[in-house]
C-alpha cells in the first residue's frame, strides 16, 4: 500500500477526469440550486472537488478514507481560494450514514465502484433531496470482445460494464436518467497517466533493488501501456441522474 500510494497518490488526479468534463456533467443538472450542498465521495486529491467549488457557489463535503487525500484536497482548495466552502470527512464510504435528503447533489468521480455501481447508487439515493442529482463517473466498455491483455487487466475491476447495462441499473433503482457521456482519451493522460509515467521513471532509480516497490512500478507501467495501445476498448462514462421529485 505504501508504494502504491507513493505512485497513485502523488499524481495530480487519482483517476481519469478533467475540468471540462466536471463542468459538462454539472451543467447537465439544469435545476440545481444556486448554492448547492454537494457530497463528493472518494474525493482523492480533490481536483474535481475544487472544480465544483469554482463552477458553483455551493459547499462541498469531500469524503475519502485516506487522510493523505483529504490533506491534498484541502491544500488544493486553499491554493484555489475556495477552502471556506469546503468541508472534509475521513470516512469509509461503506459507513456513510447521513441524514435523509441532506444533499442537493451527490458526486463521485471514479470512486463509486468501491461500493459497487448498483450498491453505491442505492446507498446514496436516500441522502439526496427529492429532485436532487447524482453524478458519477465509472469504467465502461466501448467495444465488445476486448483483447486478452485488456480483459485480464480489467479482471481486477469487475464493475466495468457496457453503458447500456449501467443505464439499466440507473433505471431499475428508480432514478430519472438526465444524460451521460464518455470521457475523452485526454482525460486519462493529461493529469493522470502522463505525470504518472514520469513519476514511475523517477522512482525506478530511487527504488532499485526493492522488489515490492518495483512490482508496483511494473503494474503501473503495464496499466499505462495497455491504455496507450487499447484505449478504444474502454473509458469512463459520466452518468448524471435525478432522484424523482415526488
Ligand X SMILES: C[S@@+](CC[C@H](N)C(=O)[O-])C[C@H]1O[C@@H](n2cnc3c(N)ncnc32)[C@H](O)[C@@H]1O
Helices (H) and strands (E) in the chain, counts: 10, 8
Which of 36, 58, 110, 132 touches ligand X by CB under 6 A?
110
Q: How far is the CB of 130 from ligand X (least distance, A)?
A: 26
Cell readout for 62 is 469531500
| Separation of CA 149 from chain center | 24
Between residue 45 and residue 64, which ones bind ligand X under the rule CB under 6 A? Answer: 45, 47-48, 64
Q: Is 111 in the site for ligand X (CB under 6 A)?
A: yes
Residue with cell 459497487: 116
Q: Is 17 in the site for ligand X (CB under 6 A)?
A: yes
Which of 6, 23, 33, 65 touches ligand X by CB under 6 A?
65
- DSSP H helices, 39-162, are 47-55, 67-79, 117-125, 148-154
Residue with cell 461500493: 115
Cβ closest to ligand X, residue 92 vs residue 171: 92
Q: Which stretch binds ligand X (CB under 6 A): 103-111, 124-132, 154-162, 210-218?
A: 103-111
Cβ closest to ligand X, residue 114 vs residue 204: 114
Give the binding-site size for ligand X (rule: CB under 6 A).
21
In the complex, which residue's CB is closest to ligand X? 44
Alpha-carbon dihedral of residues 60, 181, 111, 204, nearest 10 degrees?
Answer: -110
Q: Is 43 in the site for ligand X (CB under 6 A)?
A: yes
Residue 18: closest CA among 227, 162, 193: 193
Q: Which helix (H) or strand (E) holds 79?
A: helix 67-79
Which of 7, 14, 70, 240 touches ligand X by CB under 6 A?
14
Q: How far is the CB of 120 from ligand X (least distance, A)?
A: 10
Residue with cell 469487475: 158
CB atoms < 10 A from the CB of 89, how many?
Answer: 14
Cβ closest to ligand X, residue 60 vs residue 200: 60
Residues that bind ligand X (CB under 6 A): 13-15, 17, 42-45, 47-48, 64-66, 69, 92-94, 109-111, 114
Amino acid at each position: 500500500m505504501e508504494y502504491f500510494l507513493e505512485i497513485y497518490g502523488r499524481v495530480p488526479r487519482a483517476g481519469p477526469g478533467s475540468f471540462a468534463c466536471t463542468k459538462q456533467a454539472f451543467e447537465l443538472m439544469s435545476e440545481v440550486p444556486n448554492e448547492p450542498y454537494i457530497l463528493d465521495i472518494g474525493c482523492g486529491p480533490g481536483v474535481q472537488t475544487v472544480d465544483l467549488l469554482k463552477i458553483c457557489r455551493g459547499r462541498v463535503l469531500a469524503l475519502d478514507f485516506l487522510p493523505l487525500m483529504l490533506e491534498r484536497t484541502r491544500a488544493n482548495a486553499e491554493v484555489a481560494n475556495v477552502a471556506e466552502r469546503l468541508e472534509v470527512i475521513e470516512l469509509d464510504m461503506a459507513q456513510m450514514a447521513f441524514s435523509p435528503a441532506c444533499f442537493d447533489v451527490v458526486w463521485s468521480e471514479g470512486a463509486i465502484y468501491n461500493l459497487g455501481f448498483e450498491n453505491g447508487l442505492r446507498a446514496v439515493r436516500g441522502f439526496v433531496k427529492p429532485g436532487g442529482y447524482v453524478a458519477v463517473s465509472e469504467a465502461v466498455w466501448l467495444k465488445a470482445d476486448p483483447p486478452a491483455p485488456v480483459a485480464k487487466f480489467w479482471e481486477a475491476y469487475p464493475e466495468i460494464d457496457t453503458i447500456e447495462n449501467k443505464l439499466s441499473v440507473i433505471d431499475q433503482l428508480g432514478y430519472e436518467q438526465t444524460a451521460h457521456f464518455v470521457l475523452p482519451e485526454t482525460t486519462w493522460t493529461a493529469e493522470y497517466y502522463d505525470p504518472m509515467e514520469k513519476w514511475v521513471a523517477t522512482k525506478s532509480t530511487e527504488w532499485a533493488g526493492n522488489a515490492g516497490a518495483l512490482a508496483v512500478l511494473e503494474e503501473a507501467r503495464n496499466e499505462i501501456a495497455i491504455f496507450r495501445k487499447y484505449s478504444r476498448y474502454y473509458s469512463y462514462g459520466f452518468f448524471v441522474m435525478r432522484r424523482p421529485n415526488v
